[in-house]
Structures are given as C-alpha cells and as structure tokens.
Amino acid sequence: MLTISIVKERDPFLDNARFILVFLVVFGHFIVQVKHHHWFIFELNNFLSLLRMPALIIITGFLSKGFNRPGYIEKTAKTILVPYLLFQVIFAYYYYLLYDKSIFTYDFFQPQFTLWFIFSLFMWKMLLFIFSNLKHPLLFAFIFGIGIGYIEGAGHYFNIQRTFTYFPFFMLGFYLKKEHFEIVKKKSSKLLGIVFIVVVWFIVSQFPPAEVQSWLGANRSYIANGHEEWYIGLKRAMFYSFSLLVGFAFLSFVPTKKTFFTNLGRKTAYIYILHGAIVRTLYVYVINPEEFTTIWHYLQLPMYAILLVLILSSKSVTVLMKPLIEGKIVDYCAFPFKWLSNKRKLEQELPIQKSA
C-alpha cells in the first residue's frame, strides 16, 4: 500500500515577522543607551517599544494553541521554565562579574534584563487554563492588564506588572485565526498601515519622551510612576490601541514569501535570550556613548545589531546552545536514570522469559 505523508509547512510570513521583531528588540537595546543624545533617537526608541514586544507577543500567542493536549505542561516547563531558571543563574553571575559587583545575589522571581519575557511567557501559557474557561477571556485580559497598574505593590518582583500588562496581547494572538492574518496581507492594508504609523507617531510625540517610556516599560504601578488619578488606566488603554495600530501597520509590510532571513525566524529564541548579555558587554568594553559625536557613531549601532543577530542565529551557536535554550539538557540529565530504569526492567523480564 502506498502511504502519503503530509508535512505541515511553516508559514514564512510568521517566521519573517518574528525575525524582524527580534532584530528590532536587539537594535532597540543598542540605541536605548544613547536615547538621551537626541530627541529623535528617544522618540524612535519609544515607537519601537510600542511595536516590537506587543507584536511579538501576539504572534507567540497565536503559536500557543493546543494547551489542553496531553504533556502540554511538561513540555512548557521543559522548553520555557528550565531555560529561564538556567539563564537566570548564568546571567546573574555574569553581570556580577561584568559590573564588578561587591556581592553576588540572584532571585528567581526578579528576571534578569530580557528574561522577563521568558518568565512571563511561562505564566501566560499557564494562565490559559484559567482564562480560556471565562465567558469573555479577551475582555478580562484587558481589564486585568489595565487594573494591575492600580496595585501599588505590583512591580518588578515576580514580573507581575509586565506579565498582566502584556497578557492581553498574548490572549489576542491566541484567539486569532489564520484568516485574520490574511487581512493584513492585502495590498490595501499597506496604505492604512502608513496612516496608522503617521497618526500614532504624531500623537505619541506630543507627550514628553520620558513619560512615554515610563508607560511602555510596564514594570511599575501607576502610583510609582507619579499618577494617582482614578481614570489613569485609560491612558494604558490608549497605549494598548497605539500598539495594536502600529502592529497592524508592521504586519502589513512583512514579506509573505520566503526571504533570505525566513529560516532565521526559527532561531529567534537564541537571538533573544543571548543578545542582552552581549549588548551590555559591548557597552562596557567597546562602545562608549560619551564618544558619540558624529552621525557615523550612531550608524554603527544598527550594524552592530545586524552582526549580532547573524552570529547568534548561526549554526555553530545554535548547536552549542541548543541544550540550554531548548531545554534539551533535561533529557541529557535524565538519560542515565532512564537507562538504569530500562536496564532494571529488562533484568526483571529475563527471568520470566527463562522460566517460560
């Protein structure tokens, strides 16, 4: 009998989007160090903050379906929680050495730099079990996202502020269907996207850049940011809408077919997790913001970002770091125990076979 196996092909559109967004994350972490040098750099950094993480989280949510399948929690713990715990310790010790700190301290519930996203991703995937049973899960996600800002004690610890602030984007992505992405792929969406970009940039530029940054950081309560008005949550709702508009605009320009960087979209976890420590190292030993006097100095930053992204997505890096990034180290550590267990089972079965 002839068997035909159908392999589900990855959507290049999503891989393209993921790669570009992660590149923007890396680029953003380069320019954030010099944002105070010029108003345009500060506003550009804020605009990128409106886009990159919300859009990346929406796509991540879309790719997180099937949470009720057997082994989901085990797989999530292995591929997300284990890498988080490992790199939390590794980076804590590395930054202790890098910044020549007097005391080495670490806390699993205070994510190191970019690891907040990995920690929150695990929490979002667990929250699906609760919110998916609600009548209006997306509405409640936005209510929680706005409401968490009113809780004064909710901040960086346990990453609770960012987890709930960005959770609506994850839930939105989770409930999106493939047909919804077909809308942004239409040619007419590009024109609409340009309008969204111009309008959002204009409105956001009317606020002081430092204030916009405090809203987009999403790691402190409203009161901690100096806002005590009862209606201040509406401002977070406004920034939610801005992120959705620029996210739509961004996706309308993402290539829908395979490109030279499509395959790199499969390696975004490597780029995201590893780049933060390298960017910080470069700013300690290589890049000195105080020496930025010409346009050439600023043009070096996107070049650094491109080079770093290409290195971290290279085969040599992915092969070397795969056990840690994808949680494969769990299998390696468990192998001796599985081998002993299988050996014991075999030894127990042999006497039975001989007696038979």
pLDDT on residue 335: 47
**In the predicted structure, residue 235 carries a pLDDT above the cut 60:** yes
Mean pLDDT of the region 220-240: 92
Instruction: Read off φ and ψ for residue 229, nearest 5 degrees.
Output: -65, 140
* The model scores a pTM over 0.85: yes
Whole-number Å distance between alpha carbons of 9 and 12: 9
pLDDT in the model for residue 105: 82
Q: Is the pLDDT of residue 243 over 60?
A: yes
Q: With 90 as the cut, is the pLDDT of residue 9 above it?
A: no
Q: What is the pLDDT averaged over residues 193-201? A: 96
Which pLDDT score, from 0 to 100, does residue 1 have? 39
102: Cα separation from own chain's centroid: 31
Average pLDDT over residues 346-352: 57
Supply the mean pLDDT for the chain.
88
pLDDT number for residue 4:
38
In this predicted structure, the answer to whether residue 2 has a pLDDT above a threshold of 50 is no
For 274-299, the pLDDT digits (tens) are 999 999 999 999 999 988 888 898 99
Q: Taking Cα atoms as reference points, which of 44, 50, 16, 15 lies closest to residue 31?
A: 44
pLDDT in tens, 18-47: 999 999 999 999 999 999 898 999 999 999
Which pLDDT score, from 0 to 100, does residue 236 have? 95
For the chain, the structural domain boundaries read 12-325, 329-356
Query: Would you say the C-alpha torsion 295, 298, 303, 306 has a positive or negative sign?
Result: negative
Average pLDDT, integer, range 324-348: 60
pLDDT value for 3:
37
The crossing angle, in degrees rounded to 10, of helices 295-312 and 12-31 is 140
Distance CA 62, CA 59 (A): 5
Q: List, as own/partner pairs, every contact residues 189-193 make where C-beta atoms lie below 8 angstroms and the sequence separation is at least 24, other chains included.
A: 189/248, 189/252, 190/252, 190/253, 192/248, 192/249, 192/252, 193/248, 193/249, 193/250, 193/252, 193/253
68 pLDDT tier (thresholds 50, 70, 90): confident
